Structure 1
């Protein structure tokens, strides 16, 4: 943000060897900003420059300016009051500080989530049968899984995710089923909450009667119980909080060619899991494990199937909960605007 000062007259122009100096104070209410006086800035939440000194303004065509550096976006939408004076120099003493009116700091567009896509080694549990009409046995396979990772965004407290995939399904019209799911992750004082947009049954009064109807709602997912994995006293920064997002998944029933020439049949379900770790600074690191795998290996052969990779794209946005009402994005915050989207795409099907 650039602050510009224009002298009212020649008497307000700094003489040779002098310059305009600037400082400012940020307030969390208009009333506190208005209460600031020429000699007492009052009850402010942040001073500028951040290091506590004063800033010297640059001059161009008789206009003086300063590019404010280091002022956190956490102060967006708050109020600011500027103080300026002419410095000493050229045999002149410095002037008194002069206070400006108060100004509202502008909206800030939140930074887009910085999402990285990688592959990680994983283990899959498949139910494998080598004999028709005989119950299968659970086997552990190895694979590489697509994972997306990102971190908290400054001043954002909610992420919205749109997950889009295609499942090859011979019984569906066109031989394919589209899988579109909405997920949102909310950062709260107590941790992270994960919600999925689902069609659920609700009781409603219609024409005087209580009826069961279907309605799209945001449903909160329970966190997996992993407490037993961590000894008492384990630092929070070492605990992985896990959430199963089963809405975005695929079940595969097929067969593979074993090294001995047989064709065992198998059932395998690939689903989505979110892993969350709280960092020492209070922010969060996220890892989204997708139902997309490659290099799948059974103990006796390699497994291939078109539905081992179903994802087409993922769209991420950062926002503040104040701007969100049910499934609508409403600009209610006086400080923050929803980020631009981050889109991750794959060539699939």
Structure 2
């Protein structure tokens, strides 16, 4: 549970109700992952599971170092190992810590139809509020990084929260605290960008001409950033998208289709109301409504049993 308060919320999913006045002077935070300094020890994975009390199921050896093999409702961060030939005869291990990128313009929040199930805090962290989640999976479709996962146990969506509970009380995320090489850093976004620029300059001096900070503009930047040796080819890092963007279908649903569908529903309701007022409720003719079905006697004959008021008319 996050320690951040309602006053820290800048956006909520599926609601037009204005959020409380955001506190002033709330600095945006960010996590910077220096891929060039990562040794793939997976200490960050263990720290994430320990702090968030995650117990992923024991999987199977799939022939790669990635373990678990993929993100899961109980595995919010996974180390991705890629052996690539960056140039003729030169192989490199590219290791990337995979998890939620905490987009400035989060596609999961835009796609979510459940009020308050996804929130974005003023400091940039995007968080899932499980008790409001309806398990529809729209957040999965809306995420350009394919991060959220739906649990088969409670039908809720889960992902990295950037340790919003720790950040809310002034602590760093668990993965940052445990990293033995300092490859994961946390602070204000401006400070992380400055530090990233320093690391990029160092990498370029070491021969990585295309080094850079991964902070994609397609989602207006992210609050989890990477220092990449080959920033011109992010797809080398286990298919990290080069230019991630929110699917146009999300904008279509929220911007056009949803209002039109709502207008159609309102129009149908209004039409039905005026039809009821003008014509009145539909009623069956009394002679047809009161006549019961014929009954078959013991000798096979069909006998029509008349209602009591009809039999009285016949006797009179």
Larger relative contact order (CA 8 Å, sep ≥ 6): 2
**Higher strand content, 1 or 2:** 1
Structure 2 length-normalised TM: 0.21
Structure 1 length-normalised TM: 0.20
